[in-house]
């Protein structure tokens, strides 16, 4: 069973020889520790089943440079200083007051961007499950264009303006993703989008507001991916238990990162409510377990999580967030070493 076959069976909630393995964070440190002379060699040593397809540098291939209020800006017209550090007063749509202004804004065009050699990447990673890192941060683009506080207020006070901005953002990411998947010629297995809707204790907004404004746009975006026969990888940090049924309803196949320390995101609750309905990706606690526990304790946690989230199939092992500097590198390596020793018997629902 090769990596692609292993992940595809997992997406069908079928038994595999072991759980699929993914990794995020500390790649350079892992390369050094494992004496790997390349990123791919490090993946091979850890038996990582996924390979990412780099899509675009999000730069205008025509050489067009944008500015706003004297600051260098990205393709959206958002000053880099604003995107990195806030500064709501510099957001280009911070004072938007009508739908007409939203329509008239100078929106980026996907066809004007510089794209990487996607066909070459696919050929070089034959046999692995291929994820296109589209990102498509619809919610975050909204906040960077308008300002975080402005956005949350706009959802309630100026809903039609908010919907117009979100629609135009999503239009761009749909056009962008279509180009990527056309270049992939049916060989890209999955498309990732990253929209963090959760905090440690709850959603950033109420479930009702999320369903009115963001669910329809994600459904449109998912539809583009599904039209090409690819799977949908939905990333959202935090406590998002309340909207997981909605994500399943509109077509999410894989849910990441399973931030188990957030309220409502414990492995038992997720497995009981959503096991067999969506594939869990992540779940090995990076907030408390990996930074603070001994290697035997880490290995025991790996066995527990696989036994819980993988009890009905549909589990891909990775950290509950990207691995950070507070985690001993030995603990990260132990996660993958132990995971390869564990097999879930789905039919009997036990290890």
Q: How confident is the model at residue 213 (pLDDT cuts 50, 70, 90)?
A: very high
**Can you tell me the mean pLDDT for 275-284?**
97
DSSP assignments along 158-216, one per residue: -HHHHHHHHHHHHHHHHHHHHHHHHHHTT---EEEEE---B-SSSBSS-HHHHHHHTHH
Model confidence pLDDT, tens digit, residues 21-34: 999 999 999 999 99
How far is Cα 233 from Cα 182, in angstroms, rounded to an integer? 18
Its pTM surpasses 0.85: yes
Label the pairing between strands 113-115 and 56-60.
Answer: antiparallel
Q: Would you state the pLDDT for residue 350?
A: 39
Cis peptide before 257 (omega within 30 of 0): yes
Q: How confident is the model at residue 86 (pLDDT cuts 50, 70, 90)?
A: low
Model confidence pLDDT, tens digit, residues 148-171: 999 999 999 999 999 999 999 999
Q: Would you state the pLDDT for residue 307?
A: 94
Rg (CA), the chain: 21
Label the pairing between strands 113-115 and 254-256.
Answer: unpaired
pLDDT > 70 in the chain, percent = 97
Q: How confident is the model at residue 313 (pLDDT cuts 50, 70, 90)?
A: very high
Model confidence pLDDT, tens digit, residues 329-345: 999 999 999 999 998 77
pLDDT above 60: residue 195:
yes
Q: How confident is the model at residue 87 (pLDDT cuts 50, 70, 90)?
A: confident
Q: Would you state the pLDDT for residue 344?
A: 74
DSSP classification of residue 128: S
DSSP assignments along 282-328, one per residue: EEE-TTTHHHHS-HHHHHHHHHHHHHHHTBTB-EEEEESS---TTS-
pLDDT > 90 in the chain, percent = 94
Q: How confident is the model at residue 89 (pLDDT cuts 50, 70, 90)?
A: confident
Q: Would you state the pLDDT for residue 84?
A: 66
Q: How confident is the model at residue 194 (pLDDT cuts 50, 70, 90)?
A: very high
Domain positions in the chain: 1-51+267-351, 55-61+112-256
**Can you tell me the mean pLDDT for 139-151?**
95
**Can you tell me the mean pLDDT for 275-286?**
98
The closest alpha carbon to 43, from 119, 131, 125, 135, belongs to 125
DSSP assignments along 21-48, one per residue: B---S-HHHHHHHTT-SSHHHHHHHHT-
Model confidence pLDDT, tens digit, residues 235-263: 999 999 999 999 999 999 999 999 999 99
**Can you tell me the mean pLDDT for 95-121?**
97
Q: Would you state the pLDDT for residue 351?
A: 38
The closest alpha carbon to 215, from 257, 252, 171, belongs to 252
Instruction: Report the mean per-residue pLDDT for the chain.
Output: 95
Q: How confident is the model at residue 82 (pLDDT cuts 50, 70, 90)?
A: confident
DSSP classification of residue 11: H
How far is Cα 295 from Cα 301, in angstroms, rounded to an integer? 10
Confirm or reject CATH 2.130.10.10 for domain 55-61+112-256, answering yes or no.
no
């Amino acid at each position: 069973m090769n990596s692609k076959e292993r992940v595809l069976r997992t997406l069908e909630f079928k038994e595999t020889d072991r759980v699929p393995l993914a990794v995020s964070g500390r790649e350079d440190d892992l390369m050094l520790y494992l004496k790997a002379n390349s990123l791919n060699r490090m993946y091979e040593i850890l038996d990582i089943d996924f390979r990412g397809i780099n899509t675009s540098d999000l730069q205008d291939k025509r050489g067009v440079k944008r500015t706003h209020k004297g600051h260098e800006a990205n393709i959206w017209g958002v000053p880099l200083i604003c995107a990195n550090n806030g500064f709501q007063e510099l957001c280009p749509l911070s004072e938007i007051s009508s739908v007409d202004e939203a329509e008239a804004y100078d929106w980026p065009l996907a066809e004007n961007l510089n794209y990487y050699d996607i066909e070459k990447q696919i050929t070089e990673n034959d046999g692995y499950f291929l994820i296109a890192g589209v990102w498509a941060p619809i919610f975050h683009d909204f906040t960077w264009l308008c300002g975080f506080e402005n956005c949350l207020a706009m959802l309630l006070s100026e809903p039609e303006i908010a919907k117009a901005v979100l629609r135009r953002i999503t239009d761009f990411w749909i056009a962008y993703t279509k180009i990527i998947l056309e270049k992939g010629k049916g060989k890209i297995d999955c498309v990732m989008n990253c929209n963090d809707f959760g905090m440690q204790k709850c959603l950033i907004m109420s479930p009702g507001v999320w369903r009115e404004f963001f669910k329809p746009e994600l459904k449109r975006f998912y539809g583009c991916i599904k039209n090409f026969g690819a799977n949908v990888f939905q990333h959202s940090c935090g406590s998002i238990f309340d909207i997981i049924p909605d994500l399943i309803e509109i077509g999410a196949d894989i849910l990441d990162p399973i931030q188990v320390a957030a309220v409502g995101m414990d492995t038992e609750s997720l497995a009981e409510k959503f096991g067999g309905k969506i594939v869990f990706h992540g779940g090995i606690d990076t907030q408390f377990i990996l930074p603070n526990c001994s290697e035997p304790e880490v290995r025991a946690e790996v066995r527990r999580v696989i036994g819980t989230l993988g009890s009905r199939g549909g589990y891909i092992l990775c950290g509950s967030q990207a691995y950070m500097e507070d985690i001993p590198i030995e603990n990260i390596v132990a996660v993958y070493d132990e995971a390869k020793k564990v097999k879930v018997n789905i039919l009997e629902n036990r290890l």
